[in-house]
A = this chain, B = another copy of it.
Amino acid sequence: MAAIGELKPPERILLGPGPSMVPPRVLQAMASPVLGHLDPAFLAIMDETMNLLRYVFQTENALTFPVSGTGSAGMEACLVNLLEPGDRAVIGVNGFFGQRMVEMARRCGADVTVVEAPWGQAVDPEEIRRALGQGKAKVVAVVHVETSTGVLQPLEEVVEVAHAYGAVTLVDAVASLGGVNLPVDKWGIDICYSGSQKCLSAPPGLSPVTVSDHIRQAVNGRKIPVQSWYLDFSLLKTYWGGERVYHHTAPVPMIYALHEALRIVQEEGLEARFARHATHAKALWAGLEGLGLRLFVPEPIRSPTLTTVEVPEGIDEAAVRRRLLSEYGIEIAGGLGPLRGRIWRIGLMGHSAQQRNVFLLLAALGTILHEMGVRVDPGAGVVAAREAYTS
Contact = CB atoms under 8 A, between A and B. Distances in A.
B9 A45 contact: yes
Contact of A7 (B21, B100, B205, B259): B259
Contacts of A19: 34, 36-37, 249, 252
A198 B4 CA distance: 21
Interface size class of A (residues with CB under 8 A): 35 or more
A331 to B, nearest CB: 5
B1 A51 contact: yes
Most buried by B among A3, A7, A80: A7
Contacts of A204: 34, 37, 249-252
B73 A4 contact: no
B229 A76 contact: yes
Q: Is the interface of A mostly helix, strand, loop or mixed?
A: loop
B31 A28 contact: yes
Contact of A226 (B1, B107, B229, B249): B107
Contact of A251 (B8, B16, B205): B205
Interface of A: 1, 3-4, 6-12, 14, 16, 18-19, 21-22, 27-42, 45, 48, 51-52, 55, 68-73, 76, 80, 100, 103-104, 106-108, 195, 197, 203-205, 225-230, 246-254, 256-257, 259-260, 262-263, 266-267, 325, 331, 333, 336
